[in-house]
Structure 1
């Protein structure tokens, strides 16, 4: 799964990376502890124009009477996304890219204490996660919400957690965004091995209020 992540890329760098038009209300960066219900950066494509905008992390199905009317849907499993009523329509027609530097995951020690890990690409390139999005609410209170698509963990981090974000390479972006026609389902598979690296970080990140670059600094277990 993915429940926290970090992003430090400036907005202009992201706009160039994705060849996207940036919105004026993007969340500030750097951010070292992005949590569910916060605004995240997301890239969409329509009529051959890519846009970099802000979305609330926590997908809200159209039938929710309030944004907290049901479970907080921050992740969507690749294996079942096309079958789930909450996600099926978005999986077909409303897909997005969610950039990150890396994400956090947790293991537990013998006393069940939560031990955080930071996970990133070995090549240190931006980690671009597959997402889906949904507008919710009426015209006076409309919000755009999203979820991160997850797949089975690759071998290099499976000992930490059995799930991970679906990470897309630049060559995959047009297909995921719908620019290259149909076939996005072929991208929903575990990533290759030896692509990611992970290290233990300070338990300070366990608090959703914690911030600062030190949150992802390696510590000695």
Structure 2
């Protein structure tokens, strides 16, 4: 491979960084959640839907809380790195805004792993920070769909809308005096906070996959645009 070809290929390294780190972060998060869910599923069954998802990181009640929290820490770090790659693409102002807000969201996920449920005061601040960062990220993605349709696919836009709805639901359940959500009752009772948290977490993970696919689309588009003047696709 010539030096020119190596330079051409290296120009797409940030695209690959966004793709692989976003996918990797989602996989790490899904791995930690799955193991933690399986650890408690045998005891409470499908009533887990009424359990706040952050209780999976409670060292006092969750058998695999350390797995859940470590995975949150690494998943958040992966997402921060992915957003650094997205920012370096400098596609347009919207992509840079998404990268900044997404980086803050990744940082908030790391903080949730550092300050778990059994550290109430710090965890509340981290949870509220995560809520507002993700709200801004979903809102920016929805606006991107309107102004730069090529950056936000229809599935990613639907994910953003689902995330916005869940964020609004959590905000309605937030007590501003304590910066905590309204308490849930027994596991046999439906808990709006827990239900909104599950949707919010799922939407955040799907948004990570959507951002990865967005980076891959931009890379393929850039390669296609350069194809007439290079031999990269031969």
Q: Tell me the TM-score normalised to structure 2 length.
A: 0.26
- Between Structure 1 and Structure 2, which shows a larger proportion of helix residues? 2
Q: Tell me the TM-score normalised to structure 1 length.
A: 0.28
Larger radius of gyration: 2
- Between Structure 1 and Structure 2, which shows a larger proportion of strand residues? 1
